[in-house]
Amino acid sequence: MPLLPPLTVAVPLACAAFVAAFGSLIPRRAVTLTAIAAAVATTALQFAQLLQSLPRDLNHWFGGWTPQHHFALGILFTVDPIDGILACVAGVLVVASLTFSWWGLREVSHLYYALMLAFLGGMAGFAISADLFDIFVFFELMSVTGYGLCSFRQTSSSVMQGALNFAIINSIGAFFILMGIALVYGRTGALNLAQIGAALRGQHPDALVVVSFVFILVGFLTKAGAVPFHFWMSDAYAVAAAPVGALYAGIMSDLGYHAIARIYADGFAGSLGAVEPAVRDMLVGVGVATVVVGAVMCFIQADLKRQIAFLVICHGGIFLCGIGLLNPAGMAGSTLYVAADAMIKAAVFLTMGYIIVSLGTSDEFALRGRGRRRRHALAGVVFGLAGLGFAVVPGSGPWLSASLIQQAAVAAGFAWLPPVLAAGTAVTAAAVLRSGARIFLGWGADHDPLISSAQPDEPQEGEPQEEEGISIVSLAPAGVLLVAGFGMGFAPHLAGWATAAGRQFLDLPGYIHEVLGGQYPPPLRPGPAFHPGAGSWAYGAATAAGALALAAASLRWSASGLGQVVARLLGPPLRGVRAVHSGRVGDMATWMTVGAVALCAAGAIGFR
């Protein structure tokens, strides 16, 4: 049996226990180094595991309980290249965040490091678990560490409000998942995904199958921040400290989408595979709604962290569309997009941490022109390049993966989808480019009627405020992440591998044979290297041009007469969208209920 999968969880968790036990007795620097070393070791194990999983899946049965009489008695970890990539991303981001913390969080308790390592362990297990209840356990581990990490440096009531909303809404999501698991267990008498898939195979999707799938979907969509389950997210991200926010934005949310893909492909597809077009419509529908709401809300935020929070929501919608297309290219594109985008999102979040510590606020208007000093030039470069990366500029990692999704959409008969996704991408990128230009170049006005400003007297929550400032070296992790995110665009073979892996990921009968019968498919061979065609170049160029044009227009229009007209036209609907995001937990829970009912109804009509 492969040894690496359990180690990628055991190492960070054991180190978290060690840090918690002895962290108060040893110097803080030593604690930080221990944590970084543990995260680096975990990441190395994850890369080794990814390489090992390329030819064929790694299956580790805990306790040695391999299936008896074709029945799974124990818990299974399955690593295929798709999961492997996501696990690696989690590891890399934790290393980057902890490295940033060396400079950025000098006064933090050792508990922070214990929680970060437990968070890593949670994400590592969540990405590769193949047992429905075990996925829930790691979901909870990830969430519980997240609630704790969200709320340190409690300087104001809004931090507590954001953390409370996060904890409450995610807990409700967890109960939905649990109810779905109970329903499925009652029907199939199994918890292993392949076993569930085998038991559901050929069953007509009845009320139980549909509702249990939707309940599980609701829980993971809540974690992932899909509309209308996303309301908690901007609050939690707005109050999280930069290194923690980098992890939330970079990978935690997107792991929720991955869990949906896995639970559908390895389990529910047994029954719902018969109505695949309806499932596709549902997932893509939620994805498109998420892209639209996320893009609009992103553009009208002046607070950098809230901007990125809605950017994460919008891009999450794109990933959901890629997964929801249910074909290999969509799966591959979505996974690579998550990886490349994660690097860039985390880079931006860490750079924001640097800006906030240096300049004391994260409000775009308050910061106007204050980044023009020479020592902030590097931060400006990172910010600008990240904006171009978000705009899928040709040659970048996001561009390659967006091209795959574009191809997948056309193949699935969703030719209208790529323009929608491109528009969402362009709007979010424009927001980042606009605020970057305002902060580091001093362009544009210091107010804009369309864009909501953070309260001027509000101090920066959740951020360390160190009087001696912060070393420029702290930007190094962000720079490395940015290079990695862009570099993924120069590996066309990666796309070929990922597409082949995506095909295997979606092959339920093959997976059932492999898990319950021990018969592995022939070793995975990479598909042909993916060379983006003229369409992809046009897609990337158009999106990037659109983003730059929109950013420029946004910086200019508040001064012009045309801007007044635009503001008057768009003002009322935007105020409406904004008012819906009331930040009240009762409203959020109501939206969740409405969303769950809508999905149940859609499933009841579409899947039967």
Partner 1 sequence: MTPTATPMSRPAGAPASSGRAPARPGGRRLRVGVFAGAAGALGGFLLWALAGLPSFGDYHGTYGRLLNQVGVAQRHASNVVGAIVFDYRGFDTLGEEFILFSSVMGVAFILRGNLKIKDQAPLDPTTNDAMRVVGVLATPVVVLLGLWLAAYGYVTPGGGFQGGVAVAAAGALLWVSTTYRDYNRLTPARLFDAIEGFGAASYVIVGLVGLALDGAFLANFLPLGTSGSLASAGSIGLLNWAAALEVAAANLLLYREFFQEYIQTFPGVEKED
Partner 2 sequence: MSFYPFVVAAVLFVAGLYGVVTSRNYVHLAVCLTVMQSSTYIVLLSIGYVHGGTAPIFKGPAKAPPVDPVVQSLTLTDVVVSVVVLALILALAIQAHKRAGTVDPDKMTDLHG
Site for partner 1 in 358-387 (CB under 8 A): 360
Q: Which of 608, 556, 543, 39 is nearest to 318 (CA)?
A: 543
> Looking at 6, 74, 384, 583, which residue binds partner 2 (CB under 8 A)?
583
Which range of residues in 264-272, 343-351, 482-490, 581-589 is near partner 2 by CB under 8 A?
A: 581-589
The residues that bridge with 60 in the sheet, in sequence order, are: 77
Helices (H), 360-396: 377-390
Query: Of these, 210, 359, 404, 488, which contacts partner 1 (CB under 8 A)?
Result: 210
Q: Does 453 bind partner 1 (CB under 8 A)?
A: yes
Q: Does 573 bind partner 1 (CB under 8 A)?
A: no
CB of 97 to partner 1, least distance (A): 16
The residue written with tokens 């809540």 in the block is 222
Interaction partner, residue 134 (partner 2, partner 1, none; CB < 5-8 Å by kind):
partner 1
Least distance between partner 2 and beta carbon 167 (Å)? 5
Cα–Cα distance for residue pair 151/236, rounded to 1 Å: 9
Q: How far apart are CA 74 and CA 191, in angstroms?
A: 9
**Residues between 158 and 187 with contacts to partner 1, criterion CB under 8 A:** 179, 183, 185-187
Most distant CA atoms of the chain, gap in Å: 76
Residues in Cβ contact with 357 at an 8 Å cutoff, skipping those fewer than 6 apart: 104, 463, 464, 465, 466, 469, 470
* Three-class SS of 42-111: HHHHHHHHHHHHCCCCEEEEHHHCCCECCECCCCEEEECHHHHHHHHHHHHHHHHHHHHHHHHCCCCCHH
Cα 230 from Cα 223, distance rounded (Å): 8
For residue 324, the tally of other CB atoms under 10 A from its CB is: 29
Candidate residues 68, 523, 561, 576; the one interacting with partner 1 per rule CB under 8 A: 68
Considering only residues 285 through 344, tell me which ones interact with partner 1, judged by CB under 8 A. none
Q: Could you say which residues in the range 412-451 bind partner 1, by CB under 8 A? A: none
Give min distance, CB of 248 to partner 1, in A. 15
User: Which residues 189-208 are close enough to bind partner 2 by CB under 8 A?
Assistant: 191
**3-state class (DSSP) for residue 459:** coil
Q: CA 344 to CA 354: how far, in whole Å? A: 15
Q: Which is nearer to partner 2, 177 or 340 (CB)?
A: 177
Per CB under 8 A, does 52 bind partner 1?
Answer: no
Nearer to partner 1, 141 or 338 (CB): 141
Q: Which of 33, 178, 274, 604 binds partner 1 (CB under 8 A)?
A: 604
Q: Are 478 and 350 in contact (CB under 8 A)?
A: yes
**Interacting residue with partner 2 among 65, 545, 590, 605 (CB under 8 A):** 590
Q: Which of residues 141-200 bind partner 2 (CB under 8 A)?
A: 144, 147-148, 151, 154, 156-165, 167-168, 171-172, 174-175, 178-179, 181-183, 185-186, 191
Residue with tokens 């639970």: 263
- 448 token code pair: 């804009």
Distances (CA, A) of 3 to 6, 7, 58, 212, 506: 7, 7, 9, 33, 25
Give the residue with the Cβ less far from partner 1, 293 or 500: 293
Looking at the Cβ atoms of 137 and 289, the one nearer to partner 2 is: 137
526 belongs to the binding site for partner 2 (CB under 8 A): no
Positions touching partner 2 (CB under 8 A) are 133, 137, 140, 144, 147-148, 151, 154, 156-165, 167-168, 171-172, 174-175, 178-179, 181-183, 185-186, 191, 234-235, 238-239, 452, 458, 578-579, 581-586, 589-590, 593
